Amino acid sequence: MEEFDSSDGRLPDGWRPVLGSWRVEDDALVGDSLDGEAVITFGDPAWQNCEIEVSVAFLEVKNDSRWASIVFRALPDGSPPWFQFPLRQKSTAAGGVEFAVRLDEGWSVRQRGSDATDCELGRPRRLRVVVSGTVVRGYLDGRPVIESPFCLERATGCVGLAASGCRAKFDDFSVRRLPDTLPVAVAPQPCDIVAHRGFSAIAPENTLAAIRKGIGAGADACEFDVRKSKDGVIVLLHDETVDRTTNGAGKVADLTLADLRKLDAGSWKDACYAGEPLPTLEEALALLADCGGKAVIEIKVDGIAEEVLEAVRAADMLQRASVIAFSQQAVQDIRRLEPELPCGWLHGKSASGDYQQRAAWIAEEAARCGTSLVDLNYNLLFPEVVAELRRRGLEVWTWTVNDPPVMQALSAWGVKSITTDRPDEAVRALGRAAPR
């Protein structure tokens, strides 16, 4: 246990400041990062598995989204990649605690959690991280808040502490080595690449431009969201209103197709897409039929299953389309009306229990929908969960995955479809030939 009881303010032996200001103050280690980030490392870069604990208190924060963290699997000089378990001053917010990876190009957040209470200035909170193989488990004041199997980029490294936009006090630090584990070989298996709302990383989501870009980048299919206009036309849009992704305002259900046709659905993304229209389902299906891509249609509201099916049949896309929905009623409607059309139940919230119990609950909910296809947030997936779902006869899809190592792991576990904002990255990560 390191108690930082230096009498002269100097850092204890073995601690290496990387960024920001670090000093011992009142028998605690204080990191000052009010104007940026602070990082300090400790230990041997050959360490693999370990348990790390520290008490942390915010002394001053730039704003309540700022954080202090435990660092693990880092190089001594702090060069990326490395991993961290941060605690935000506003720990009740979504992402109040996280599992994140520091990459050359910035941060990749692999899981978010929250706590019931925010951090008070000066009040210590106890952070604990257990790292074993590719699995990370994070605890706040003894309660589990994070669990992820995606500690992938680096198998060994030293440990440390970090802070951003705050002055934080760390005390009672300990690190305990755990037995090493064998490295996990990742061999990507064939699976579909689905462009999320089209190639939404570079083109305006849910437009024909995004669909063209997605298929052009090598995606097997494009996913898009559908709703019904005031006059009964099925159109592509994620949100209940047009406010975020067009130059208009109001609910889709209150606007006619003529109203929607007047909107610019592209300029918000980039000036080069100015004038891009908000498309109908009929137009999106016609484009995919023409270019050879598949359609993954997410139903956002109940009561439109018949209209969606009518459009799929009219486009002769029954063999190259799938439907997904969070609504169990929507899945039931599609399965009843057209059993030949694949229809998956979407789920993004956590499931409790051990891996078998989680898989059993997911399978039971899928059975309520009358489907054997589940499309799950990738944060819910562990290799054991995927294996148990497959043993139960379910096909597993996942969303929305943008990190190549995570894509490779998921496909190796047997996931059959990966939805991504970056189909170009997925093509490379999964060893596909680049499109010409």
Average pLDDT over every residue of 60-66: 97
Q: Could you read off the pLDDT of 100-128 as tens digits, one per residue?
A: 999 999 999 999 999 999 999 999 999 99
Tokens of 88: 């935000």
196 catalytically annotated: yes
Residue 8: pLDDT over 80: no
Give pLDDT, residue 350. 83
Give pLDDT, residue 7. 63
Q: Report the phi/psi class of residue 250: left, alpha or beta, with left for phi > 0 and alpha for psi in -120 to 50.
A: left
Which residue has tokens 């963290």? 69
Question: What are the angstrom distances between the C-alpha of 198 and each of 155, 217, 297?
Answer: 34, 10, 11
C-alpha span between 277 and 397 (Å, rounded): 30
Q: What residues contact 292, with CB distance under 8 A and at least 6 apart? A: 215
Average pLDDT over every residue of 188-207: 97
CA atoms within 13 A on the CB side of 81: 16
Per the prediction, the chain carries an average pLDDT of 96
In the chain, % of residues over pLDDT 70: 99
Tokens of 119: 């951090």
Q: Global pTM?
A: 0.96
Give pLDDT, residue 2. 67
Residue from 62, 90, 126, 238 carrying the catalytic annotation: 238
Residue 9: pLDDT over 90: no
Q: Report the phi/psi class of residue 223: left, alpha or beta, with left for phi > 0 and alpha for psi in -120 to 50.
A: beta
Q: What residues contact 313, with CB distance under 8 A and at least 6 apart? A: none
Tokens of 189: 């298996």
Residue 6: pLDDT over 70: no
* Number of Cβ atoms within 10 Å of the Cβ of 48: 18
Give pLDDT, residue 243. 98
Average pLDDT over every residue of 12-22: 95
Residue from 169, 196, 213, 228 carrying the catalytic annotation: 196
Give pLDDT, residue 176. 97
- Is the torsion defined by CA of 142, 50, 70, 11 positive or negative? positive
pLDDT interval class at 435 (50, 70, 90): confident
In the chain, % of residues over pLDDT 90: 93
Average pLDDT over every residue of 1-7: 68
C-alpha span between 115 and 93 (Å, rounded): 8
User: DSSP code of 353?
Assistant: S
User: DSSP code of 252?
Assistant: G
Residue 44: pLDDT over 70: yes
Average pLDDT over every residue of 308-331: 98
pLDDT interval class at 363 (50, 70, 90): very high
* Among the listed residues 266, 334, 324, the one whose alpha carbon sits nearest the alpha carbon of residue 295: 324
C-alpha span between 23 and 11 (Å, rounded): 6
Give pLDDT, residue 1. 65
Q: Which long-range contacts (CB under 8 A, 24 or more apart) does 406-409 make?
A: 406/110, 406/150, 406/152, 406/378, 407/188, 408/186, 408/188, 409/134, 409/149, 409/150, 409/152, 409/186
Three-state DSSP at 277 gives coil
pLDDT interval class at 140 (50, 70, 90): very high
Residue 431: pLDDT over 70: yes
The crossing angle, in degrees rounded to 10, of helices 328-337 and 355-369 is 50
List, in order of start, the domains of the chain with CATH numbers: 15-177 (2.60.120.560), 192-429 (3.20.20.190)
Torsion of CA 247, 250, 254, 257, to 10 degrees: 10
Strands 321-325 and 294-299: parallel
* Number of Cβ atoms within 10 Å of the Cβ of 78: 20
